[in-house]
Each structure stands twice: as C-alpha cells, then as structure tokens.
C-alpha cells in the first residue's frame, strides 16, 4: 500500500472510531434511560409511525449502493458513469435529510416536543446529531464530485474512504431505526 | 510503515501565510505555545484570586481587586468565586496544559524527532489550531455575559450546570467552547497518530522512537477515542439548556420518562479519567528522555517504560468509576473499580523505577531541563502515592470532595505537567527559536517554583485530611475549620510567591527571544534527530530524510572514541 493511501485510510478510520465513540455514548445513555423506565414509550406518549423511518432506511440503503458503484466505476476509469452514480447518491442523501425533517414535523403533530420528556429528548437528539453527520457526509460527497477527475492524486482511496464514511452513517441509522422506531 | 519520501512544501511568502494560517508544524507549535502561555497566565491569575479569598475572606484583593470587583469594593463575591474555580480548572486543563504539552510539543517534536518534513495532514493541523482559537474566544466571551461565565465546577455536573443551577448563557458557551476544543483535539489526534505510523524515518522502528514521541502518540490515541465521549455529554447538556430536553433532569419516570443527573457524571468520567493520562503522558515521555540525556546514560529499560506507558493507557480506560464512589454505586462495582485502579500502580511503578534506574550512577548534569525533570519525579511520586488513598473505597468515602483530592490531582496533573512543560520549554527553546535561555534565571525559576509549589499542594493535602471541603467560599464560617486558617495562609503565601517567580520565566523567555546568545545545532549534546539539523530548523526540516541506525538514548557508550559521549541516531552503534 502506498504511503498516501495508508495515510488517508488511517485518518478516516480514526475519525470513524471517534464518531463511533460519540454515538456509542449516546446509545449507552439511551439504553440506560430505556431500561430504567417502567414503560416505553412513557405513559401518554404515542409511538412514532414507522412509515417515514422505513422510507428513510430504504433511501439511505439505496444511496449507499450508488456510492459503492461510484467507487467501482472510478476503479474502472469510467468517470461519466461514476459522476452519474455519485449524483444519485447525493440526491438520495438530500432526500434522507428531507425525510428526517418530515419525521420531526410528524413528532410535533403527535405532541412530541423537545421538552416533552426523555422519550422525545432521545429521539430528537439522536436524529439531529445523525442528521448533522449526514450533512458532513453530503459535503464529503460533493467534495468527491469536485475532485472526480483522472488526474486527482489518490482518487481511489479518497473515494473509498468517503464511501466507508457513508456506510458508517448508514449503519448508525439502521441501529437507530431498529432501537428507536421498531423495537 | 517507515521509510519512503516526504514532499517538500513550498515556503510561504506572505506574512499571513507564514504566521497566521501557516501549514508549517513548527509555526503551529509556536502558535499553540503562545496560546497556552496566555491562558496559563489567565488561569494562574484566577488561582491567586481563589487562594486570596480562602486565606483572607472579605478582604479586598490587593492592587487588582478594585479593577475586577469594583461593586464589592475589591472583594471576590461568592458567585464570582464559583465562577473562578470553574474557569480556573477549565482553562488550566483544556486551554493551558493541552495546548502547551500536546499542541506545542506534539506539533514541534513529532515530525522533527521522527525525521519527517511535516505532519501527515498540514492543513488539518492548521485547522486544529484555529478551532482551538475559536474555542478560546467563545470561552473568554462568556466572561462578559450579564450573569458571567460558567460556575458549576469544571466537571459541570447537573443539576449545577442545567438551567436550574446556572441560569445565564455562560454554561452554554462553556459547552460550545469545550465542543469546539474537542473538534480541535480530535483533528490533532488523527494527525499525530497517522504521522507517527506513516512518516517515521527509514530504519526507525517503534522502539527507536524517543519516549517523548511514545507519550505524545499514546495521548493522541486516547484523545481520538475519549474526547468524543465528552463531546456527546456536552451536546446533551446544551440541548437540555437550549431546547428544554430532559437528559439530566430527574422527573416523574412513569409519565415522561426520567432523566438522570448521574448519567452525566458517568459520561464525564469515562472521558475524564483518560483525560488525566492525556495530560500526563506527554510529560512522562519528555521526562523519560530528559533524565537519560542529562544523566548521560541510556534510559534504563526504555522498552519497558514504553510498554508500561502503553499499559497505563489501556488501564486508564477501565477505572473511571473511582471518581464516583459516593454516588451510591453498587459495592460490587466500587470493588471492581478499586481493584482496576490499584492495578495501574504496577506499570506506573515500573516506569518510575526505570526513571530512578536511569539516573542511578549517571553523570548527572543539573541543567534547567534536568532540574525540572527531577522535579517531576518528586511531585509525581507524591501525586501517585496520594492517589492510592483516593482509589481505595474506604478512605475515599472520607476524603471525597475535600482538599486532599485537590492536592492530589494538582500534584499529578498540574505540578507534574507544569514542571514537565517547563522542562520541555527550556530543553527545546534553543531548537525552536535558535537562542539560548539564561541558565541562572532558569534555575532561580525552578527553585522559586518547586518550593512554593510543594507549600501549596502539600498544604492542600493536609487541609483535606483535616476535613476541609473544596469549593466553599468561606470555610471559616465553620468553627471546625477555623484552626486551618494558618495552613490556608501558608498555601496562599506560597501561591503568591510561586506567581511572582513565574514573572522571572516570562522575563527570561522574552529577553532570550530578543537578546539570548545564538544556539548551536546541538547545545545539550544529545543524539535524537532534531539535534542533527540547524537551530532553528529550515522550513522543510530535513534536506535529506535521515536514516536511523540506532536508538535515541545512546549516551555514555565506553566504546566511543571520537571525544563525544553520545551518538546521533543517524550513526551506526559503536560496538567494542
């Protein structure tokens, strides 16, 4: 492995470990709150409808596929196809953020405000923090679009690591989807 | 991966690119150094205000009192007192020690000591400083708010730190500042770890790295893993304060689900205990090297020292519960945390014994870096030993929240780190600025620091053992504590004295920068890579990337015939 590639891989992996610790702390807090509550969601609170979270999951899942194909195209030197797949990935990423806004709007409509207790606190905090990371991920994808030229040095490791970051965000979302909304 | 090639970056030409948004690790190191020294002054001034108040309650602070507290006739008011100890802790830990030990020495030493031309990611390095700068501005801005800066203790425990305990925006800005500083630290950590792994000079294995680099590298690993934990904590605290969430507010659990104030303590100390080692590891590394350099002997058991520091790093992640023995933790947990805490004594004792082994029968040169390093050995020894009382559940229940705790942690992470930091500054100043500092003034500074420092912190241990609690505005309203007034006076007088002696350091630093004699390439006669190049180094550090052929502590080799008692790391080891 070349030095540049190793450096990019290491830096991304360390950054992902750091972010994993942030989310792990949040999930630890969630586990403690939930396990110490007599009922969940607490009395008088409705469960959030699964429709929008499920749609979000499908959207981020497909977006990751396009991200995967982008890197595969770059490896084959097919830059026009890579650009197209990257555009789809970005578009789906933006759609995910839009769906998150709909989830927050839905939460308000069923009376779940930020000050409505720990159930709402957890749901808002995790989705907000994840959405902030998604925006960082989208910026990374737009950056990849900007450098998507054959002459860019270390293009494949850069694309691969941005793809890995996108997967990381997808995995965090899936854990959130299962623990916050499904079970 | 060692070996290979580092590119030479073009030298900046404008003032702005050379000194402000510089990508050069040496300039960024100096930026962190100025930043840290500035905040060291601010935090130190706060310490004096705190100490004055404790020894002379109700008496105006001399000279500056009327300037700061005109409404109360120069006396520190009670709410300001809480703000002072909160911000003193915050500033010293995050804004003074971290920038100097990690920001300045990390940036300066890592590339130079491993034979690299710069950090792996110079732009990220630049951003790391400016995030820290922004964080410092936010923190300082909080002093000018209507209700002042944060006042819930540097640990910011809820409910003291929620809107109930701290109604102003000061605590919110504290959270924002700490989060920004966390981003800066994480950026630095990514860079340090990657640089050490990928940019070591050809021939430099991990055990050929100076122990300074080991300390900084392990610190960076801890930073990358545990700073985000505090990040999560302060985000949730901010949400509680700004958006009305209830993470740390206990409530009616059946109807709204209950928040949990103690959860913040867990989150804080999961980060907080490794943070202690984040601060001390660079100082341990520096001292381990300097003791060898100035004893003119190889570091005794250098490999064992490196591995012990690694073991401490790993263990530091498993012991945080000893900060929370009094939170009604299950006895099973307290016993487990106690046992794990005691386990840290083993690797600590190994490298401590190695320090003694290093100086044993050495040809010791009592230059200022060595004096400060020996100071670290003494104060860290005391700090470590007093830790045993606090790591043991039965004694901690009595000593918890007393001045014994304050004395203990100041010995370990203030005195040791401060002295280690001074040792580093006196040692690398010639390389950084190309000038020598005045040795006589440096020695006066050492004794003027070392003696009062022990007066302060040993006094604190005694007061705590006698039952004086920390964070009390005027302990002498309690009859039982009145007999401690003389000890408090000794501590405060020592603190004032130590403060005055720091002016000698500032004078020496500035005077040496302007008028100090020119430093030669290797004024201390040691063999690590940074001393093979001119003082100060050129922009790209090394014209040719050095090839490492021996370890960093090859001193006093009896087979040496060239009139030197040391070997450069670029030289083949001379054998008999």
What tokens appear for B94 in the block?
Answer: 């995050």
Q: Which residues of B touch A32 (CB under 8 A)?
A: 260, 263
What is the average pLDDT score of chain A? 95
In Å, how far is B127's CA from the nearest CA of chain A? 15
Tell me: cis bond preceding B313? Omega within 30 of 0 counts. Answer: no
Please say if the pLDDT value at position B256 is more than 80: no
- From the list A3, A29, A115, the residue facing B244 with the nearest CB is A115
Please say if the pLDDT value at position B284 is more than 90: yes
- From the list B5, B190, B254, the residue facing A14 with the nearest CB is B190
Residue pLDDT, tens place only, A94-116: 999 999 999 999 999 999 999 88
Q: What are the distances in angstroms from CA A64 to CA A139, A175, B241, B486?
A: 15, 16, 36, 69
Please name every residue paired with B402 in a beta bridge, in sequence order, or none if there are none.
Answer: B469
Residue pLDDT, tens place only, A135-172: 999 999 999 999 999 999 899 999 999 999 999 999 99
- From the list B120, B198, B231, the residue facing A22 with the nearest CB is B231
Query: Are the Cβ atoms of A14 and B194 closer than 8 angstroms?
Result: yes
pLDDT band at A38 (very low <50, low <70, confident <90, very high): confident
Query: Are the Cβ atoms of B193 and A25 closer than 8 angstroms?
Result: no
Count the Cβ atoms, other than its own, within 10 Å of residue B335. 12
Residue pLDDT, tens place only, B65-114: 888 898 899 999 999 999 999 999 999 999 999 999 999 999 999 999 99
Cα–Cα distance measured from residue B26 to residue B532, given in angstroms and rounded to the nearest whole number:
16
A41 touches chain B (CB under 8 A): yes
Q: Which residues of A touch B245 (CB under 8 A)?
A: 114-115, 120-121, 124-125
Nearest CA in chain A to B243: A114
Contact call for residues B575 and B559 (beta carbons, < 8 A) = yes
CB-facing half-sphere around the CA of B396: CA atoms within 13 A: 19
Please name every residue paired with B349 in a beta bridge, in sequence order, or none if there are none.
Answer: none
pLDDT band at B539 (very low <50, low <70, confident <90, very high): very high
pLDDT of A52 reads: 97
pLDDT of A165 reads: 97
- % of chain B with per-residue pLDDT over 70: 98
Query: Are the Cβ atoms of B190 and A21 closer than 8 angstroms?
Result: no
- From the list B199, B229, B260, the residue facing A21 with the nearest CB is B229
Please say if the pLDDT value at position B200 is more than 90: yes
Cα–Cα distance measured from residue B238 to residue B170, given in angstroms and rounded to the nearest whole number:
11
Please say if the pLDDT value at position B241 is more than 50: yes
pLDDT of B253 reads: 52
Please say if the pLDDT value at position B2 is more than 60: no
The DSSP result for B52-99, as a single string, is HHHHSTTSPPTTTHHHH-GGGTTPPPHHHHHHHHHHHHHIIIIIIIII
Please say if the pLDDT value at position B4 is more than 50: no
- From the list A26, A32, A38, the residue facing B232 with the nearest CB is A26
What is the average pLDDT score of chain B? 94
Block residue for tokens 């007093």: B386
Q: What ipTM, to 2 d.p.?
A: 0.95
Please say if the pLDDT value at position B269 is more than 90: yes
Please say if the pLDDT value at position B5 is more than 50: no
Pick among B256, B266, B268 to test the A interface (most A CBs inside 10 A) = B256
Helix (H, G, I), strand (E, B) or coil at B479: helix
pLDDT, mean of residues B457-473: 94
Contact call for residues A174 and A78 (beta carbons, < 8 A) = no
Q: Which residues of B touch A124 (CB under 8 A)?
A: 239, 243, 245
pLDDT, mean of residues B427-453: 97
pLDDT, mean of residues B204-223: 97
Q: B164 versus B222: which is more confidently predicted?
A: B222
Query: Are the Cβ atoms of A11 and B194 closer than 8 angstroms?
Result: yes
Query: Are the Cβ atoms of B243 and A33 closer than 8 angstroms?
Result: no
Cα–Cα distance measured from residue A61 to residue A67, given in angstroms and rounded to the nearest whole number:
10
What tokens appear for B477 in the block?
Answer: 């309203």
Q: Which residues of B touch A6 (CB under 8 A)?
A: 1, 197-198
Cα–Cα distance measured from residue B187 to residue A133, given in angstroms and rounded to the nearest whole number:
16
Cα–Cα distance measured from residue A126 to residue B174, given in angstroms and rounded to the nearest whole number:
22
Q: Which of A39-43, A96-100, B6-10, B162-166 shows the lowest per-residue confidence on average (mean pLDDT)?
A: B6-10
Cα–Cα distance measured from residue B191 to residue B103, given in angstroms and rounded to the nearest whole number:
11
SS3 for A19-40 is: HHHHHHHHHHHHHHHHHHCCCC
Pick among A29, A133, A143 to test the B interface (most B CBs inside 10 A) = A29
């Amino acid at each position: 492995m070349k030095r540049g590639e190793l450096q990019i891989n290491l830096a991304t992996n360390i950054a992902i470990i750091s972010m994993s610790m942030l989310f792990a702390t949040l999930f630890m807090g969630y586990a403690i709150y939930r396990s110490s509550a007599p009922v969940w969601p607490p009395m008088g609170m409705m469960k959030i409808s699964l429709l929008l979270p499920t749609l979000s999951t499908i959207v981020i899942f497909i977006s990751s596929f396009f991200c995967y194909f982008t890197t595969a195209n770059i490896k084959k030197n097919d830059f026009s196809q890579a650009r197209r797949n990257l555009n789809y990935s970005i578009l789906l990423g933006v759609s995910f953020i839009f769906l998150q806004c709909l989830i927050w709007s839905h939460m308000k409509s069923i009376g779940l405000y930020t000050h409505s207790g720990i159930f709402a606190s957890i749901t808002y905090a995790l989705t907000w923090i994840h959405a902030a990371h998604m925006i960082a991920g989208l910026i990374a994808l737009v950056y990849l679009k900007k450098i998507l030229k054959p002459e860019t040095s270390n293009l494949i490791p850069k694309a691969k690591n941005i793809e890995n970051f996108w997967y990381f965000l997808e995995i965090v979302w899936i854990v959130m989807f299962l623990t916050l909304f499904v079970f | 991966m060692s070996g290979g090639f580092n590119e030479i970056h073009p030298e900046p030409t404008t003032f702005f690119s050379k000194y402000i948004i510089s990508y050069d690790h040496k300039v960024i190191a100096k930026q962190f150094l100025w930043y840290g020294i500035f905040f060291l002054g601010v935090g130190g001034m706060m310490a004096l205000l705190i100490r004055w108040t404790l020894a002379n309650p109700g008496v105006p602070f001399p000279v500056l009192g009327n300037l700061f507290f005109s409404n109360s006739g120069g006396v520190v008011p009670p709410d300001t007192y809480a703000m002072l100890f909160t911000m003193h802790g915050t500033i010293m830990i995050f804004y003074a020690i971290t920038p100097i030990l990690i920001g300045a020495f990390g940036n300066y030493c890592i590339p130079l000591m491993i034979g690299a031309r710069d950090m792996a990611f110079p732009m990220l390095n630049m951003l790391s400083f400016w995030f820290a700068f922004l964080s410092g501005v936010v923190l300082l801005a909080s002093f000018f708010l209507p209700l002042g800066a944060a006042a819930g203790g540097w640990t910011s425990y809820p409910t003291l730190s929620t809107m109930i305990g701290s109604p102003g925006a000061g605590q919110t800005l504290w959270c924002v500042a700490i989060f920004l500083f966390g981003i800066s630290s994480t950026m630095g950590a990514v860079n340090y770890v990657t640089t050490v792994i990928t940019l070591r000079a050809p021939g430099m294995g991990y055990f050929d790295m100076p122990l300074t680099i080991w300390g900084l590298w392990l610190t960076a690993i801890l930073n990358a893993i545990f700073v985000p934990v505090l990040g999560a904590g302060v985000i949730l605290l901010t949400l509680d304060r700004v958006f009305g969430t209830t993470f740390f507010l206990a409530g009616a659990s059946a109807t709204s689900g209950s928040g949990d104030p103690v959860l913040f303590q867990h989150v804080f100390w999961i980060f907080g205990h490794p943070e202690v080692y984040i601060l001390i590891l660079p100082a341990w590394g520096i001292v381990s090297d300097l003791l060898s350099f100035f004893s003119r002997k190889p570091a005794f058991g250098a490999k064992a020292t490196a591995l012990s520091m690694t073991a401490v790093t790993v263990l530091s992640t498993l012991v945080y519960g000893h900060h929370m023995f009094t939170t009604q933790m299950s006895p099973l947990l307290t016993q487990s945390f106690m046992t794990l805490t005691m386990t840290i004594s083993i690797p600590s004792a190994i490298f401590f014994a190695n320090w003694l082994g290093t100086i044993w029968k050495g040809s010791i040169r009592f230059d200022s870096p060595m004096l400060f390093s020996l100071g670290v050995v003494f104060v860290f020894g005391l700090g470590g030993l007093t830790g045993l009382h606090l790591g043991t559940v039965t004694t901690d229940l009595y000593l918890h929240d007393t001045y014994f705790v304050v004395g203990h942690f100041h010995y370990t992470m203030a005195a040791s780190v401060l002295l280690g930091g001074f040792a580093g500054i006196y040692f690398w100043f010639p390389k950084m600025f190309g000038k020598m500092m005045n040795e006589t003034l440096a020695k006066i500074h050492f004794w003027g620091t070392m003696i009062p420092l022990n007066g302060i912190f040993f006094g604190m241990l005694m007061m705590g053992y006698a039952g004086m609690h920390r964070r009390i505005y005027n302990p002498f309203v309690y009859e039982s504590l009145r007999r401690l007034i003389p000890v408090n006076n000794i501590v405060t007088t020592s603190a004032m004295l130590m403060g005055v002696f720091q002016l000698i350091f500032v004078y020496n630093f500035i005077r040496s920068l302007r008028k100090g004699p020119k430093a030669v390439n290797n004024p201390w006669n040691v063999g690590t890579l940074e001393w093979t190049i001119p003082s100060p180094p050129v922009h790209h550090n090394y014209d040719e990337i050095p090839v490492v052929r021996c370890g960093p502590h090859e001193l006093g080799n009896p087979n040496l015939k060239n009139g030197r008692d040391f070997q450069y790391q670029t030289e083949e080891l001379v054998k008999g």
